[in-house]
Amino acid sequence: MTAVNLDSRPGDGNAVARRGRRKKLTFDKVSFFAVFLGIPMVLYLVFVVSPFLQAIYYSLTSWKGFDNVFTFIGLDNYAKVFQDDNFVKAMMNNLILAVIVPIVTVVIALVFSSLVTVGGPSRGQIRGLRGSSFYRVVSFFPYVIPAIAIGLIWAQVYVPNGGLLNGALGLFGVDKINWLGDEATAMPVSIFVIVWGMVGFYMVLFIAAIKGVPAEIYEAARIDGAGRFRIITSITLPLIRDNVQTAFVYLGIMALDAFTYMAALNPNGGPNNATWVMPQEILQIAFAKGQFGLACAMAVVAAVLTLAFAGLVFLINRLTGAGKDTSY
CATH of the domain at 194: 1.10.3720.10
Distance CA 173, CA 182 (A): 20
Q: Is residue 66 part of a domain?
A: no
Q: Are residues 47 and 90 in the same domain?
A: no
Average pLDDT taken over every residue of the chain:
86
Name the band, by pLDDT with cuts 50, 70 and 90, for residue 11. Answer: low
Q: Is residue 2 part of a domain?
A: no
Task: Note the Cα 190 to chain centre separation in Å.
Answer: 17
What's 227's DSSP letter?
-
Q: Are residues 112 and 25 in the same domain?
A: no
Q: What is the pLDDT of residue 130?
A: 75
Q: Is residue 3 part of a domain?
A: no
Provide mean pLDDT across the span 158-177: 90
pLDDT tens-place string over residues 137-165: 788 888 889 999 999 999 999 999 888 99
Distance CA 304, CA 131 (A): 44
Which of the pair, 19 or 25, is modelled with greater confidence?
A: 25
Provide mean pLDDT across the span 204-226: 87
Distance CA 217, CA 236 (A): 10
Q: Are residues 237 and 175 in the same domain?
A: yes
Distance CA 74, CA 256 (A): 26
pLDDT at 272 over 70: yes
State the DSSP string of 136-170. Answer: HHHHHGGGGS-HHHHHHHHHHHT-TTT-HHHHHHH
Under 8 Å between Cβ of 79 and 90: no
Q: Are residues 36 and 87 in the same domain?
A: no
Under 8 Å between Cβ of 308 and 94: no
Identify which of 145, 179, 149, 183 has the alpha carbon closest to the alpha carbon of residue 161.
Answer: 179
Q: Are residues 202 and 266 in the same domain?
A: yes
Q: What is the tally of structural domains in the chain?
A: 2
Q: Are residues 55 and 87 in the same domain?
A: no
Domain with 159, as residue range(s), is 78-319
Q: Is residue 328 part of a domain?
A: no
Q: Is residue 17 part of a domain?
A: yes
Q: Which of 101-105, 140-144, 190-194, 249-253 has the lowest mean pLDDT?
A: 140-144
Distance CA 259, CA 39 (A): 31
pTM: 0.84
Which of the pair, 226 or 164, is modelled with greater confidence?
A: 164
Most confident of 6-15, 132-141, 312-321: 312-321
Which of the pair, 128 or 165, is modelled with greater confidence?
A: 165
Three-class SS of residue 14?
Answer: helix
pLDDT at 18 over 60: no
Q: Is residue 252 part of a domain?
A: yes
Handedness of CA 32, 49, 258, 93 (dihedral sign): positive
Q: How many CB atoms lie within 10 A of CB 126?
A: 17
Provide mean pLDDT across the span 247-252: 95
Q: Are residues 90 and 215 in the same domain?
A: yes
Distance CA 22, CA 126 (A): 49
Q: Are residues 125 and 30 in the same domain?
A: no
Q: Are residues 254 and 197 in the same domain?
A: yes
Q: What is the pLDDT of residue 1?
A: 46
Q: Is residue 268 part of a domain?
A: yes
pLDDT at 35 over 90: no
Distance CA 92, CA 275 (A): 10
pLDDT at 68 over 90: no
Give the ranges where the chain is alpha helix by DSSP (H). Answer: 12-23, 27-33, 39-44, 50-59, 76-81, 85-118, 132-140, 147-157, 164-170, 183-211, 215-223, 228-231, 237-239, 241-255, 259-265, 278-283, 292-319
% of the chain residues with pLDDT over 70: 87
pLDDT tens-place string over residues 74-115: 999 999 999 999 999 999 999 999 999 999 999 999 998 988
Q: Are residues 186 and 246 in the same domain?
A: yes
